Amino acid sequence: MNPLNHVAIIMDGNGRWGVKNKNSRNLGHKEGLLAVEKIIKQSIKRDIKYLTLFAFSTENWKRPDIEIAYLFKLLEKFLKEKLSELDKQNIKLKIIGRKKFSLKLNKILKEAEKITFNNTKLQINLALNYGSKNELIDGIKSLNKKNEKITIKNISNNLYTKNIPDPDILIRTGDTKRLSNFLLWQLAYTEIFFEKKLWPDFNEKDYDKILKKYKSIKRNFGNI
């Protein structure tokens, strides 16, 4: 049975779900947040140690300003209302990406990371303003600044995900089969599962089905 420590998820389909069911992309994002809470709880039940969620990409800045503003307001509200609960559940929150947001949001994110820093049950890596190509550029710049040799280990140690094991599983919902500039370095040997359901419809049973399938896969890592 394969060890399972880290699950990464591209939560695709909120906007499409909202248009289809509520005639509003924004309401789809709101519904998607409920799915996030379900999967966090299920990850704890299944003893997952790391959960990386692709929440906002560097490419998402191309969306309408009103949608971007709503997404960040939704995030602010979630952290204000749920941070204490996350802390009580022994959940650590880490932001990965270029932290270039409003002063208000930056303060909220920094405070959330500080409050939950020593928690050990589950680490949630929230990918915000994240793009893997930018991460690699930033990592190489950091490596060069420290005059370190270019090796696999040194590159890994200069990425946003330093000290975080690579994902065992990547799940992408929304019936789209691409990586979308997400964790390109870290996904080298990750098992990838594409799910037809839109993110707000993705539930605990769907999650468990993928976890169970993963555990039955023979992983060779280049060996026989």
User: 3-state DSSP call for residue 135?
Assistant: helix
Q: Which segments within the chain are labelled E, that is strand?
A: 6-10, 50-57, 91-96, 122-130, 169-172, 191-194
Q: How far is CA 68 from CA 61, 73, 168, in A?
A: 7, 9, 30
Could you tell me how far CA 10 lies from the centroid of its own chain? 7
**DSSP, res 167:** P
The Cα–Cα gap between 172 and 192 comes to 8
Element (H, E) at 129: strand 122-130
List the catalytic residues. 12, 60
- Contact yes or no for 195/206 (Cβ under 8 A): yes
**DSSP, res 147:** T
**DSSP, res 122:** E
Q: How many residues does the chain have?
A: 224
User: 3-state DSSP call for residue 109?
Assistant: helix
